A and B are shown apart, each in its own frame.
Chain A
Amino acid sequence: MQIQDNLMDPSVISDPYTYFAEIRTNDPVHWSDDFGGWIVTRYEDVAFAFQDQTRFSAERVTPSRKASEKKKKELASTYNVLSHWMVFNDPPKHTRLRLLVNKAFTPSAVEKIKPRIVEISNELLDEMANNEKADIIKDYAYALPILVISEMLGLPKNDRDKIKKWSDDLMLLVFGAVDVPDRHEKAQKSLQEMYDYLHDIASKRRENPQDDLISAIAFAGDGGDKLTTDEIISTCSLLVFGGHETTTNLIANGMMSLLTHPQAYKELKDNPSLISSAVEEFLRYEGPSKAMIRIAKEDLELGGKKIKQNERLLLVQASANRDPAKFTKPDKLDITRHPNQHLGFGRGIHYCLGAPLARVEGEIAIKQLIQRFPQMTLEDVQIEWQPTIINRALKRLPVTLRGTSS
């Protein structure tokens, strides 16, 4: 049978699950001309590829294969910063960069900042309470994680909008928003501004260290394994970026799932202690990351297909997490699901560093939102998703805070 070969088709963007289920059923490791690589859809194959980092490389920071030589030169500095992001590196460089910041994101470290996350959430909810309506993304889900990561790093609160702008522009490039024609230029400009900004703050911290993450990173490796300035600034930019974009989508996608599943919504309102398994289920059912890219380091076989060295693979978490071979009733939202070994945070050495923080932020954000506005309903508008291959992000999530009857 013929599988429609356009990952950016509006129907695929709005409902990737039906599309990928078709591939998973008919040709689970599927060559796509449109993507220029293999689409991997079964849980077993996706997990396998994540775990075998020696043959499936994450080092994929190279200009688009369609870019002209002139454009490639113009974008060199963007790719220079991205090339130091641990998510785009294999060991040993990946290991070195990851260990450096790991301790700030461990479950026990995150536990300590919980009260502060609750406070930030309450401040935002207080502001929202002044209005009848809200956009959950703009007014809450976006602001919360960026305030938390900015505080952890030690960035001034007033710089929040600046940071969001840079981050949005960079997202266009990293998450492959191919419908924005000047996305490379935007990303380039914003990344340069963010680089200069972080460079300035890191330099100040080296002279006058504070009790914050940017100071820790600025001094890291002074013992033996010294980080270069580029590595320090790139790592900070990754944390700013990775520290909020996806968490925003976890909160928003989770709320969207609840608002469209009244039974689950009621279940959680009646029993708030389900929040932790609910968040796991949001990560599975409507997770912020639809897919991740890997490059074959050698000729290999996956799901019966021969993959050649240097070919790209799209590991589709949105499909693996709905694979009936792994999950019972995979297309059903079940906030009590157990076990729930979803691949929302990946697997193996690139398993999301910020997972413990994202989980806690997701739990606090959603629990508090429901408690404060238990009558909240979704506004009757067309739901639109960002047109990207890699992430699952709503454009807006408009709600009426005190129900439709008021």
Chain B
Amino acid sequence: MRVWIDKEKCVGSATCTIIAPNVFDINEDGQAVVANNEAEGINDINKSADNCPVQAIVIEKK
């Protein structure tokens, strides 16, 4: 599985960093980044993607 942020969509609402703080972080530009792709917790990643107001979290299942 690969998780990434669509920079064109991300508005920095930081919803993902609240739900999955071990996975996501906010960078200097105020946008989300995947800080730890190896982090445990697929449920939290899915929940973050579902809660994102602009659907900027992309989950690619291999």
Contact = CB atoms under 8 A, between A and B. Distances in A.
B51 interface: yes
B36 interface: no
Contacts, number: 52
A355 B54 contact: yes
28 contacts: A50-B30, A51-B12, A51-B29, A51-B30, A102-B53, A103-B50, A103-B51, A106-B51, A106-B52, A107-B52, A107-B53, A107-B54, A107-B55, A341-B8, A345-B11, A346-B11, A347-B11, A347-B30, A348-B11, A348-B12, A348-B30, A349-B13, A351-B11, A351-B13, A351-B53, A352-B53, A353-B53, A356-B54
A349 B51 contact: no
Contacts of B12: 51, 347-349, 351
Contacts of A347: 11-12, 30
A329 B52 CA distance: 30
Contacts of B19: 99
Category for how many chain B residues contact A: 10 to 19
Contacts of A346: 11
Interface in A242-292: none
A113 to B, nearest CB: 16
A175 interface: no
Contacts of A50: 30
Nearest to B9: A341
Contact of B18 (A99, A107, A108, A351): A99
A321 to B, nearest CB: 14
Contacts of B55: 107
B5 interface: no
Interface in A99-138: 99, 102-103, 105-108
Contacts of B13: 348-349, 351
Contacts of B50: 103, 106, 108
A108 to B, nearest CB: 6
Contacts of B18: 95, 99
Interface string B1-32: 00000001001111100110000000001100
**Most A C-beta atoms less than 10 A away, residue of B13, B14, B54:** B13
Contacts of B11: 345-348, 351
B46 to A, nearest CB: 11
A99 B30 CA distance: 19
B8 A105 contact: no
A15 interface: no
A377 B15 CA distance: 42
A384 interface: no
Interface in A330-384: 339, 341, 345-349, 351-353, 355-356
